[in-house]
Amino acid sequence: MGLFRAIEPEEEPQAGRPLADRMRPQTLDEFIGQEELLGPGKPLRTQIERDELSSMLLWGPPGCGKTTLARIIAKHTRSEFIPFSAVLAGIKEIKEVMAKAEGARRYGRRTIVFVDEVHRFNRAQQDAFLPHVEAGNILLIGATTDNPSFEVIAPLLSRMKVYVLHALSEGQIVALLRRAIEDPVRGLGKEQVEASGEILERIAVLANGDARAAYNTLEALVLGTEPGADGRRVLSEARLEDVLQKKLLPYDKAGEEHYNLISALHKSVRNSDPDAALYWLARMIESGEDPLYLARRMVRMASEDIGLAEPGALAVTIAAKEAFDFIGPPEGHLALAQAVVYLSLAPKSNALYTGYGAVQKDLQSTIAEPVPLHLRNAPTGLMSHLGYGKGYQYAHNTEEKVTDMTCLPESLLGRTYYRPTDQGFEARIRQRLEEIRRIQKKNPAAKGEE
């Protein structure tokens, strides 16, 4: 059939097949991850078990199980299953498969076509599927790492159910690696591999949610480790560094080193040292830290240490997070680097941080007074009769748009929480605040209605 071949269940592993291929789950019960789709009683699992599927699109990052799930569907369905890659197939090959599928349908047989990397098809190639999906000649299963909203034509997308798959967690990848080490038939059980939890966790961190990458690293590490006199292969961090050709930096995402490094990064930014900030950022990323954790921490820095001295800092950090989400690693790491240098060079102010802290302290140490009557709205006659809104001063009715009306509870009158510094944009804010206070003292406003 050329590019196309039906998948048949393989009972025994074939010599020469990589570990990642040998360890593919053969059943839904073996499948790890995507519990929200494939857990017992979940709709997709039920459809697979009942062979009541419709055309679907599996959208998720590399190594999350898209192709494996398609193979499991092949074993559970009473259909001819034809996989091919969008990288290799063109219009001619698509039409050939569609013609065979249409012929099979006349004899009561259904054809499932699995298209890996469907986002690589151009519009014309995707159009070639459309009438056959619509007519029911084929059941199309596509797999993509890209957002299908942008990469799949709307008419085809509207006829397919989109299932979102997620990157595997570190714990899930460690479980897969342990299974591979212990499995004597498909895995490495005959190699007498001895691996500490720390080694497996490090491989899982480096895999970044990609099970295939984790299997490849484990296999290379085992093959690169000579058995000892007792026949055991004891995996070591030093050998892992050799296999990766990369130094493994000391790091524990849940331990002291994590907190030491993030402290160094935060304090370097606060001290306006872009070189040190860039170093600590890169060290954490290269050690396997979650980049989104770093992005969240930089958002905190933008408010805690910079605030209104540079209002754009918050927007820059949010944009860096969105950029990383959009393009992922390693290119997305540059967006985080750009943000951390920007934060380092920005003027610094903790006025918002200390002001909010002072409010929190007062909230704990003073009674929660009712809102003053003049600040309340009076949407009903009764509320107006009770004095709601009485004495309210409408700032827009004054020439300078400022009144001498008090807005704090009575017990807190005169409190000053926000004290802008003379750094960056806050210097202008400080001037404006001083101007507002001068107006309030010299020119009590005329009272008006809201």
- Spatial separation of the C-alpha atoms in residues 405 and 440, rounded to whole Å: 8
Residue 200 pLDDT > 50: yes
Structure tokens at 45: 């699992």
CATH for the stretch 256-345: 1.20.272.10
| pLDDT band with cut points at 50, 70 and 90 for residue 93 | confident
1 by DSSP, 3-state: which?
coil
Question: Is 80 exceeded by the pLDDT of residue 254?
Answer: no
Q: What is the pLDDT of residue 3?
A: 41
Residues in a beta bridge with 194: 234
Of 361, 362, 363, 323, the closest CA to residue 342 belongs to 323
pLDDT digits (tens, 9 = 90+) for 267-324: 999 999 999 999 999 999 888 788 999 999 999 999 999 999 999 999 999 999 999 9
φ, ψ for residue 95, nearest 5 deg: -65, -35
pLDDT band at 182 (very low <50, low <70, confident <90, very high): very high
> CB within 8 A of 174, min separation 6: which ones?
197, 200, 201, 204
Strand partners, 312: none
Higher pLDDT, 76 or 10: 76
Beta strand 111-116 with 80-85 is parallel
Task: Answer yes or no: is pLDDT of 183 > 50.
Answer: yes
Q: pLDDT > 70: what percent of the chain?
A: 90
pLDDT of 2:
40
Cis peptide leading into 409, omega within 30 of 0? no
The model's pLDDT over 215-241, given as tens digits with 9 standing for 90+, comes to: 999 999 998 888 888 889 999 888 887
Higher model confidence: residue 191 or residue 84? 191
* The two three-digit tokens of residue 215, written as one number: 């299997």
pLDDT tens, position by position, 121-161: 888 888 888 887 887 778 889 998 888 888 888 988 888 99
- Domain formed by 373-442, architecture: Orthogonal Bundle (1.10)
| φ/ψ of residue 347, rounded to 5 | -60, 150
Report the alpha-carbon distance of residue 301 to residue 273 in Å, rounded.
14
HEC letters along 343-402 = HHHCCCCCHHHHHHHHHHHHHHHCCCCCCCHHHCCCCCHHHHHCCCCCCCCCHHHCCCCC
What average pLDDT does the chain have? 85
DSSP for 42-102, written as a single string: -HHHHHHHHT----EEEE--TTSSHHHHHHHHHHHSSSEEEEEETTT--HHHHHHHHHHHH
CA–CA separation, 444 vs 64, rounded Å? Answer: 66
The closest alpha carbon to 134, from 117, 150, 155, belongs to 155
List the chain domain ranges.
19-164, 170-244, 256-345, 373-442
Q: Coil, strand, or helix at residue 193?
A: strand
In SS3 terms, 151-165 reads as HCCHHHHCCCEEEEC
Q: What is the pLDDT of residues 313-361, one digit of tens each?
A: 999 999 999 999 888 888 899 999 999 999 999 999 999 999 999 999 9
> Is the model's pLDDT at 6 over the cut of 90?
no
* Residues, the chain: 450
Hey, which bits of 117-160 come out as E strands? Answer: 138-144
pLDDT-derived band at 66 (thresholds 50, 70, 90) equals very high
CATH of domain 170-244: 1.10.8.60
pLDDT of residue 4: 42
pLDDT, tens digit, 9 for 90 and up, residues 111-128 = 788 888 888 888 888 888
Homologous superfamily, domain 19-164: P-loop containing nucleotide triphosphate hydrolases (3.40.50.300)
Residue 283 parent element (H or E): helix 274-286
What mean pLDDT do residues 191-219 have?
A: 88
Q: 361 near 315, Cβ under 8 Å?
A: no
Write the pLDDT tens digit of every residue in 424-442: 988 898 899 888 888 888 7
pLDDT of 90 higher than 90: no
Question: Does the structure show a pLDDT above 70 at 192?
Answer: yes
Residue 163 β-bridge partners: 58
Q: pTM of this prediction? A: 0.59
